[in-house]
Amino acid sequence: MNLPNTTRRTGLRGPLAAAIGAALASAWLWTTPALATPPDANVDSSGMDSTAEPDTTIKAETDNQWTGTWGRSTLLGDIYGLRSALAKYGVTFGLTETSELLGNVTGGINKGFTYDGLTTATVQVDTNKAFGLPGGTFNASALQVHGRNLSAANLDSLQTASGIEADTGTRLWELWYQQQFLDNHLDVKVGQQSLDQEFMVSTNANLFVNTMFGWAAVPSYDMPAGGPAYPLSALGVRFRAEPTNNLTVLAGVFDGNPAGTSVGDPQVADAHGTNFNLHNGALYIAELQYSVNQAAMGALDDGKSHGLPGTYKLGVWYNDEKFADLRYGTDGLPLVSPNSNGQAILHPGDYSIYAVADQMIWRPDPDGVRNLNVFARLMGAPGDRNELSFSANLGLVLKAPFEQRDNDSAGIALGYVKVGHALVGSDEDAAAINGGYSPVRNSETFVEATYQYQVNQWWQIQPDIQYVFNPGAGIVNSNEPSEKIKNELVIGVRTNITF
């Protein structure tokens, strides 16, 4: 029997409030005239030298809004001058649409195809251009999810087929302010944040469609409400420091449960992304990032290094709530026993250690774009209080796979998850008590192959195929209670449009 994590409502006012206060105080000190770094008097808000003489021979020409649509970087271009007008004040606006048609043609709990889509709108403000505050960025983003989720409707797999699957609706996603210090060697971000944008990220894994190549399986299943990651986020403070050109340190403290509850669907509990919860303990996270054969942040590649670039990350997270044991009660009996008091042992805190590697392993021409990359991500967590005790992602990504296709990418990768030993033991207890057929969960593996075709700068088309072994780690088919879910073959296509 899989018991939900219990929630200790001691609040987050101590660690998180202190961190937010420290971050805001730092930002205030940075922006006072005595401490702020003044912009160069000869450089205007666009970064150009204002002492240079203008070229009076250049004549402005008007152009039809839809001229050259195919060659633009975005579908809507300048939107009749709106983007360029906003840019003068440091405001940028982004709008993207990701749509998918995915279906399982064999196995699963149902066969068939579903459509799902995600619209993301983002507004950012450069505070230096907006009102003379150097080094500041304000960000607000919102999501609109539509369609139907294939995994819930047809698969019932642990590693869900698409990274955009979520409850339908419109919600606030992120709302934060970031301030840079020390020539961009230190910055602080305060506000509503989604950790999958910075922590545990493999840049090569982002090519793939399956959810677990984004926010990994261990935090998805082991953190309360799935953790502060798409489509949820949480209030917190994130610090980034670059002590050397090769080393970056990320650390943060966030609310421990973005939904504010461990009962029911967390996306329903925070249906609009505006709970701004601070009452569920704290989530601490830290990550070391080491890069090789790469230019320093903000610097141009000097062309002197001919080594193959790579990035290696080591991280840990800790949640200070209390977490229920998944096998034994306080009376020492299995929770599935009819004699159990039903009160699970509570463990103080939960944690995970993880490692991520992205490494280029082949580049035939140092000046060319074709290259082959390998990535790996491993995560472990205690097996007594967590549904999953281990997850792994491995894969290869080939960029510019064909002549004249410099912006395409092809990849093959796999995902693996292992069920925690307490949950396995609970299944074994149930089998012994029932004396009949009762499945014992163990692990689930899938393989994905994909090709991202860059039609033009604003449009991508991506055919995709996935095969899932032992879906649900061996659970029974809800439509065929006497059988486990059969292996699944998922095929489909994703398209991305940047407006």
Per-residue pLDDT of the chain (499 residues; tens, 9 = 90+): 434 333 333 344 454 544 444 444 444 334 333 333 333 333 333 333 333 334 444 444 444 555 589 999 999 999 999 999 999 999 999 999 999 999 999 999 999 999 999 999 999 999 999 999 999 999 999 999 999 999 999 999 999 999 999 999 999 999 999 999 999 999 999 999 999 999 999 999 999 999 999 999 999 999 999 999 999 999 999 999 999 999 999 999 999 999 988 889 999 999 999 999 888 899 999 999 999 998 765 555 555 556 999 999 999 999 999 999 999 999 999 999 999 999 999 999 999 999 999 999 999 999 999 999 999 999 999 999 999 999 999 999 999 999 999 999 999 999 999 999 999 999 999 999 887 678 899 999 999 999 999 999 999 999 999 999 999 999 999 888 888 999 999 999 999 999 9
Q: Is 423 strand, coil or helix?
A: helix
Spatial distance between the Cα atoms of 180 and 188, rounded to a whole number of angstroms:
7
User: Residue 82: which H helix or E strand, with range?
Assistant: helix 82-87
Domain interval for residue 229: 15-33+68-298+306-498
* Amino acid (one-letter) located at 33: P
Tell me the Cα Rg of the chain: 25
Cβ atoms of 370 and 385 within 8 Å: the answer is: no
* Amino acid (one-letter) located at 186: L
Is 49 a member of any domain? no
Name the nearest CA neighbour of 146 among 129, 165, 126: 165
Cβ atoms of 383 and 389 within 8 Å: the answer is: yes
Whole-model pTM: value is 0.85
What's the total number of domains in the chain? 1
Is 63 a member of any domain? no
Name the nearest CA neighbour of 471 among 220, 156, 150, 213: 156
Is 268 a member of any domain? yes
Spatial distance between the Cα atoms of 123 and 83, rounded to a whole number of angstroms:
11
Q: How many helices (H) and strands (E) does the chain have?
A: 7, 18
User: What is the CATH number for 488?
Assistant: 2.40.160.180
Q: Where are the alpha helices (DSSP H) in 132-270?
A: 150, 217-222, 266-269
- Under 8 Å CB-to-CB from 277, ≥6 apart: which residues? 234, 235, 255, 257, 258, 259, 260, 270
- Under 8 Å CB-to-CB from 29, ≥6 apart: which residues? 35
Is 428 a member of any domain? yes
Is 61 a member of any domain? no
Is 8 a member of any domain? no
Is 39 a member of any domain? no
Residue-level length of the chain:
499
In this structure, what are the phi and psi dihedrals at residue 438, rounded to the nearest 5 degrees?
Answer: -150, 115
Is 397 a member of any domain? yes
